[in-house]
Amino acid sequence: MKKLNHRIYDKGYFEKGWRSESGKLQYEDPAQQYDLNLKIAMLNRFFPQKGTILFVGTAKGFEIRKAREHKWEAFGTDFSEYAIKNADPTIVQYLKLADTRKLPHAEDQFDVVAGFNTVEHIGGGHRAEIILGLREISRVAKTGILLKVALRHWVVTHCYDPGLIQLQPLSFWIREIERLGKHLLFHAEIGTAPLHIWLVFYHKDLWQQKFEDNRDAIFWKKQLEDTLESYADLPSPVIPA
């Protein structure tokens, strides 16, 4: 596992002016609330039973706060000491300093694990390091996984980033989670701009239950496998910060 310096995500990273009207990352900002409400809507749509959820890369914990307002038992992690020390005071007890590549949680501890434009950054954005993070996400997720990932550079690099971010093709995210043998892709949806995509994975048993019969499930699985095979060798662009 590549050693990283958590200090690259410091005050300069979190308090740059693009993040809010005030120049600081604040829960009350209209843009922040719009984004948070969109995330919760996706969660409630695909996981209506709610339950426990872990947000990886949640920064100051705004996702935790919003999810708890909507009756989720929410927790979170972030790699930045600055973010943890300056976390939303209403949820700081639910937030831990942790590297997604080595989560301090038990297997199947959470019903859902979610990450929104954060998994691209795992281990500095290197493919091998991201895979380590995805293994951990799958390990601690019992029912499902919700990700929002960038497919084109603007989603990641419109914000300040201290290093290279190596974006991965869609097939990478699906293949690397599915090959762990626990969760299967249930739904993919283009985000608010054609630059990122929402990915919903269900535990394989729940995934099977979502289909009317085994024939439907087998057909869908074969279509997905053929698609992944066709795009497996797509190159991943390296985007400068």
Going along the chain from its start, the domains and CATH numbers come out as 6-233 (3.40.50.150)
State the pTM of this model. Answer: 0.83
Instruction: Write down the H helix ranges in the chain.
Output: 11-14, 30-46, 62-69, 81-85, 127-140, 154-157, 170-178, 204-209, 214-231
What tens digit of pLDDT does each residue of 94-140 get? 999 999 999 999 999 999 999 998 898 888 788 899 999 999 999 99
Question: Dihedral of CA 110/114/118/122: which sign?
Answer: positive
Residue 167 amino acid letter: L
CB count within 10 Å of CB 197 equals 17
Mapping DSSP to helix (H, G, I), strand (E, B) and coil, where does residue 35 land?
helix
Share of the chain above pLDDT 70, in %: 71
Confidence of residue 232 (pLDDT cuts 50, 70, 90): low
In this predicted model, what pLDDT tens digit does every residue of 178-206 receive, in sequence order?
999 999 999 888 876 557 889 999 999 99
> Are the beta carbons of 149 and 119 closer than 8 angstroms?
yes
According to DSSP, the β-strands at 73-78 and 141-150 are: unpaired
Tokens 């989603």 -> residue? 155
Distance CA 133, CA 216 (A): 31
